[in-house]
Structure formats: C-alpha cells, structure tokens
Amino acid sequence: MFVTYLVLFDLAPLTRQRIWVARDGSGVSGVAYFGRQLALACELSAVEAFSEHAKRQRGERMIFGPRDRVRAFWQYVQSWHMRPRIVRERQHVMMLDRQRLRLAPGPVTVRHARREDASAVTHASAELIEQELAYDPRRASRDFAHNVAQMIEHRLWWVAEKDGRICFFCNIGPWCRQTAQLQGIWTPPELRGQGLATAALSAICDRLLEDSPTLSLYVNDFNVPAIALYRRLGFEIVGEYQTMLF
C-alpha cells in the first residue's frame, strides 16, 4: 500500500527519484522505494537486483515489506549493512470489507479530529510510536507535531469520545481505489478493557467503508489484544510483513 500510494499520488521530484522498478523478460517484477523507509513490493526474483541498488542508497531507518521478501533481501545485504536495533519478525496483514464487518455498538461517538484536538492526538500518536518503535518521535523530529496537525487538516485522523473525553484514536495512512490502511490505533492505557476500542473502531470502519471497498492494517504477531480486537470486528489475516528498524 505504501509503495502504491507513492506511485499514484506523490508527485514530488525527490519521491519519484527514490522509486525504482525491476524488470525481467515478462515485464515489471517489482517496485521499491529507497527513502528513510526502504519498502519492497516485488517478486522474489527482483530482490537481488534491489539489494545491489541498496548499496548506493544508504541511510534508511526502516526496511519493510512481505516477510519472505524482507528475509531474502537481508540475506543479500547483511554482510555490509548496519545491524537492526529491532526486528518485527512477523506482522499479520489484515483486511476487512463490508460483508465481514461486525458492528459493535457502544457508548462512544466517532468523528474526524479537529484542530483543537491536535495536542491530544500528537500525544497519543507519540505514545504509540514509542511503544512500537522504541523512540519518542517528538524528540526525533521537530516536524512531528506539525505533521499531525496537517493530517488533521486533511481529515485523516479519527477520534472517539465518551462523556466528552477522547477515548480512542486512529488515522488513515496510504490508500488507493482498492483499500485504505488504518494506522495509529490507540486507546489510552487507563481506558482499556471497557470495550471502547471495539465500539469506536467498528463505527469508524463502518464510516470508512462507505468510501473504500476494503480496509487494511498490519499488526505484530505478539500483540494478542490488538489481534483479538481486529478479529472481533471481522478483520481476517491475508498476508505477512516483516519490519527491520535501524
């Protein structure tokens, strides 16, 4: 999804320079993005070619893609590449459509985040990233809060409220005609275990499926509570990713 989104919608010259295509006798065998994130969307036959190109494109903070592609890529580059600080060995790719959605009514209301929510959304997003990726993005990037605010302006952040308090957060990441990817799914720790995430996410998915035929996300295989949440709503596992963080 990330690579598809860049190809379709990001027309910035620097982005276009970082998107590379592998070809074989039958046509395109893969696409990869070589930026701060190295994203692989390719056949296994294209991995070696992309690994050779990677020697000229150093400095990524993340490598991710289908699990078998990332594992094969690492076999080619590990002799010269810096060691990862974190490896998310197996991440489930999950999908939901209208037919599978199981609504879960609850005492919440959902809406797009507003400008006045920016501080709360920034804090929740940073807490999630620190938990998942082991760093505080507010310290790593001076633009983090600004980027969150921009996403709010573009109506990409959703929140749920209970009794006037925001109790759930999520955002829309890359998208195309076939699907939209959910990200930043977060319930404040003190509000967990009350069914709020189930009610909130089901209502948000219901709204999003009015415009997108499917929704997708990926989740670490050890995040048992999150996987249970997604399964309750009807998400099904359709693939596996792997992510290496540097």
* CATH number of the domain residue 121 falls in: 3.40.630.30
Number of domains the chain contains: 2
Pair 114, 221 in one domain: yes
Q: Report, as an integer, the average pLDDT of 90-103.
A: 98
Pair 154, 210 in one domain: yes
Query: What strand order describes the sheet that includes 86-97?
Result: 19-24, 27-34, 37-42, 62-66, 236-245, 86-97, 214-220, 180-186, 165-175, 157-162, 109-112
Q: Per-residue confidence at 140, pLDDT binned at 50, 70, 90?
A: confident
Q: Per-residue confidence at 141, pLDDT binned at 50, 70, 90?
A: confident
Pair 52, 111 in one domain: no
Contact 41, 3 (CB under 8 A): yes
Pair 113, 165 in one domain: yes
Domain that holds residue 20: 2-82
Cα separation of 183 and 188, whole Å?
15
Q: Per-residue confidence at 139, pLDDT binned at 50, 70, 90?
A: confident
Q: Is residue 210 part of a domain?
A: yes
Structure tokens at 217: 């996300």
Q: Report, as an integer, the average pLDDT of 109-135.
A: 95
Q: Is residue 78 part of a domain?
A: yes
Q: What angle do CA 174, 73, 55 make, to 5 degrees?
A: 95
Q: Per-residue confidence at 58, pLDDT binned at 50, 70, 90?
A: confident
Pick from 212, 108, 99: which is nearest to 156 by CA? 212
- Secondary structure (3-state) at 14: helix
Could you count the other beta carbons within 10 Å of the beta carbon of residue 50? 25
Pair 68, 146 in one domain: no
Question: Does pLDDT of 191 surpass 90?
Answer: yes
Q: Per-residue confidence at 132, pLDDT binned at 50, 70, 90?
A: confident
Q: Is residue 245 part of a domain?
A: no
Percentage of the chain beyond pLDDT 90 is 94
Residue 222 to residues 54, 106, 185, 225, Cα–Cα distance (Å): 30, 27, 16, 9
pTM of the model: 0.93
